[in-house]
Amino acid sequence: MTRTLVNVPKTARRGDVVEIRAMIAHPMETGYRNGPDGAAIPRRIIHRFTCTYGGEEVFAADFHPAVGANPYVAFSTVAIESSTLTFTWIEDGGAVHAATAEIAVD
């Protein structure tokens, strides 16, 4: 299982701009390198990241082979309601890695 780290404020006031940070431990192998045996290492990258807040997409990014290992993303959103933020990383081949975090808005 791939390790994900997300940082979301536990609480916020309605209308506050909050910073969201997410990282996934992933090798982001481009497919251009050779392994110790001389054979090409297959491409394996995260190509899409999305974050939904209360079921609505608030941030998305497309990654390409030039992105380094363990991609880190930081962005801001407006706290509108207490809800769940869902983070989704989609890898070549269709593998999906996900994490969630709660935010309480008063």
Record the pTM.
0.92
Share of the chain above pLDDT 90, in %: 94
Give me the number of domains the chain comprises: 1
User: What pLDDT is recorded for position 93?
Assistant: 87
**In the predicted model, what is the mean pLDDT of residues 85-103?**
96
Q: Determine contact, residues 75/18, Cβ cutoff 8 Å.
A: no
The domain that holds 53 is classified in CATH as: 2.60.40.10
**Does residue 84 fall inside a structural domain?**
no
Around Cβ 1, how many Cβ atoms within 10 Å? 5
**Does residue 36 fall inside a structural domain?**
no
Supply angle C-alpha 35, 64, 29, rounded to 5: 15
User: What pLDDT is recorded for position 1?
Assistant: 60
DSSP string computed for 35-87? -TTSPBPPPB-EEEEEEEETTEEEEEEE--TTSPSS-EEEEEEE--SSEEEEE
**In the predicted model, what is the mean pLDDT of residues 76-86?**
98
**In the predicted model, what is the mean pLDDT of residues 10-31?**
96
Backbone angles phi, psi at 78, to 5 degrees: -95, 130
**Does residue 78 fall inside a structural domain?**
no
pLDDT tens for each residue of 23-64: 999 999 999 999 999 999 999 999 999 999 999 999 999 999
User: What pLDDT is recorded for position 2?
Assistant: 81
Residue 16: burial class (beta carbons within 10 Å; 0-12, 13-18, 19+): middle
Domain that residue 105 falls in? 1-31+42-73+93-106
**Does residue 10 fall inside a structural domain?**
yes
**Residue where the block lists tokens 């497309």:** 62
**Does residue 81 fall inside a structural domain?**
no
**Does residue 98 fall inside a structural domain?**
yes
**What is the pLDDT of the chain when averaged over all its residues?**
95
**Does residue 83 fall inside a structural domain?**
no
